[in-house]
Homo-oligomer: A and B are copies of this chain.
Amino acid sequence: MAVASQIVTSLLQGNQRAVAKAITHVEDGTSEAEKITALLYPHTGKAQVIGITGSGGVGKSTLIEKLVRELRRGGKTVGVIAVDPTSPFSGGAFLGDRIRMQDLSTDEGVFIRSMATRNNPGGLARATMDTVRILDASGKDIILIETVGAGQSEVDIIKIAPTVVVVLAPGFGDAIQTIKAGIMEIGDIFVINKADRESADKAVINIRAMLQLGTQRGKWIPPIVKTTATTGAGVSELLEKIGEHREYLSKGEASQRQRRIVREELEEAIKRKTAEHILTALQKEGELDNLISKLLSKEIDPMSAAEEALNRILTRSKRR
C-alpha cells in the first residue's frame, strides 16, 4: 500500500511528478494502479472534462493549444490527454508543432500527457478514464481529451467526457462517412475550424441540417462555432459555449449522463474482475488448456465454452 498511498498523497497536493508516476502505473496496468485509483476516487468529480474529437487534419491540436492558452489567461489550470496518435502532444508530429507547444509543457498550471498502451494492450479506454481521474484529483480545473473519430476507436469519448466537442473542417460536412461514423450523434458543440476557407458557411448550413435530421438528446441544442485555430479566432466563443454546456449539465441533465457513464464503467470493471477470477480458477485446475483444445478441435464454440466456464465457477463456489 505504501507506494500507492505515497503517490496519491503527493498528487492530491498537485505534485506534477506524482501525477506523472500515477499515470504510468495506470498505463502499464501495474498492481499499484488499482490501489491508486481506488484511493483517489473520492477526490474526483470537480474538473470539467471535455472531449475534443474529429478526424486527422481538421486542426484539433492547434485548437486545443489555443484553448489552453485562453484558459490559462483566465487563471484556470488545465490537463490535456492526447489519445490521438498523430497529435503533436503525442510527439508524433512535425518538429514545428512540438516547438510551438514547448512553453505549455513548462507551465506548472498545465499537464500534458499522451496515452500509450504498448505495455497494456486493450487497456487504452480504461487508462484514459483513470488518467482523467488522476488529473481531476490533482486539482486541474479543466481536462481536455483529444481523440480521433467516434465509435470506431477504442476510446469512446462519450463514455468518458460529459461535454463532447466535434471538430470539423469545411468540406468535411458533405462527406457520407461523417454521418456513418456516428459523429453527429455525439457532439454537444460543433466546431467548424479553418473557418477562413470560403466553404465554411456552407459547412455550417450542412451541419445544422444534419443536426435537425437527428434525434435530439434532452433540451440542449448543439451550437455550431466557427474557429480559425491558427489565429485564435472564435476560441473565446467556443469557451463560452463550453461554459454554457457545463451550466446546462448542472441543471439536472448531468446526473442522467453521469449515471450512464458510471454504469458503463461499472460494467467494464465487472467484466475485468470476473474474467480475471474465472480465468485464474480455470488455469489453476488445468481446465483452461482443456477448453482451448476443445475450441481448436471445434468440439465447442467460444460462447458455449464461456457458459461452461461460468457454470463451473458458480457450481464450485456452491460447493465451497
Measuring CB to CB, which residues of chain A are less than 8 angstroms from any residue of chain B? Answer: 34, 37-38, 41-42, 44-45, 56, 83, 85-86, 90-92, 116-118, 121-122, 124, 149, 151-154, 156, 175-177, 180-182, 255, 258-259, 262-263, 265-275, 277-279, 288, 291-292, 295-296, 298, 300-307, 309-310, 313-315, 317-318, 320
By the criterion CB–CB under 8 Å, are B153 and A296 in contact? Answer: no
By the criterion CB–CB under 8 Å, are A85 and B177 in contact? Answer: yes
B residues less than 8 Å from A273 (CB atoms)? 303, 306-307, 309-310
Q: Can you identify 12 A-B contacts, CB atoms within 8 angstroms?
A: A34-B303, A42-B301, A45-B298, A85-B177, A86-B177, A90-B180, A269-B302, A270-B274, A271-B271, A271-B272, A274-B310, A318-B318
By the criterion CB–CB under 8 Å, are B298 and A42 in contact? Answer: yes
By the criterion CB–CB under 8 Å, are B85 and A262 in contact? Answer: no
By the criterion CB–CB under 8 Å, are A37 and B86 in contact? Answer: no
Tell me, in angstroms, the Cα distance from A302 to B42 when the chains sit together: 11
Residue ID in chain B nearest A302 by CB atoms: B269
B residues less than 8 Å from A274 (CB atoms)? 270-271, 274-275, 278, 306, 310
Q: What's the minimum C-beta distance from A296 to chain B, rounded to whole angstroms? A: 6
By the criterion CB–CB under 8 Å, are B153 and A298 in contact? Answer: no
Contact among B177, B272, B314 with A306 in the assembled complex (CB-CB below 8 Å) = B272
Residue ID in chain B nearest A177 by CB atoms: B92
Given A272-B271, A314-B314, also A116-B154 (CB < 8 A):
no
Residue ID in chain B nearest A314 by CB atoms: B317
